[in-house]
Amino acid sequence: MLNDKRLDEILDRALAHYSDVEPLAGLEDRVLQRILAGRVPAKRPTVLGWAVAGSCLALLFAVVVVLGMRHTTPTPWNAALTSAAPPRTAPMQNVRVPPSLRRVVRRHVVSVRGLPKQESFPSRTPLTEEEKALVRLVSRSPETATSLLAGLDKNDAPIEIEPIQITPLKTGSNEP
């Protein structure tokens, strides 16, 4: 193990070699040129900028106008309409209304019917021709159908798949 004094000496010597090295020729000029090239002159507003600013101001003006209209007090011409007390009228008794002014009110009775219900869900699909032939065979001779169908499910042998053989394509060259 190195002690702390020995480690400090090694680091000091290594750092002394780094500080003695001069930068590459022209490094300062390249850095200054890059700094100067990075400066971009300030952009002046364009027509599009002025159009966006004008649209924003118009929208702000419209919002202020709409919100200002919501808090106005009623004017005299509509003050009668907004008064709290409804006008008093005399009760109508023994008044004849001509038939042309009568309004007929019809009441519609709505009955709530449920959806049609099926006996079984999901509904059965019609039999195919093959299934119909099988039903006819079983109904005519059940023994023959049993003997024919009994051997179908007893095949427990594993399925063997032959390996695939791909022959190479023949090209125009003389290669095999």
pLDDT (tens digit per residue) in 34-79: 888 777 666 777 888 889 999 999 999 998 888 877 665 555 555 5
CA distances, 135 to each of 132, 138, 141, 145, 150 (Å): 5, 5, 10, 10, 16
Position 168 pLDDT exceeds 70: yes
User: Is residue 168 a contact partner of residue 175, using CB atoms and an 8 Å limit?
Assistant: no
pLDDT (tens digit per residue) in 100-150: 666 665 666 666 677 777 777 777 788 899 989 988 988 998 888 888 877
* Residues belonging to the chain: 176
At 65 the pLDDT is 84
Position 80 pLDDT exceeds 70: no
Taking the CA atoms of residue 88, residue 94, residue 100 and residue 102 in that order, the dihedral angle to the nearest 10 degrees is 70
At 57 the pLDDT is 93
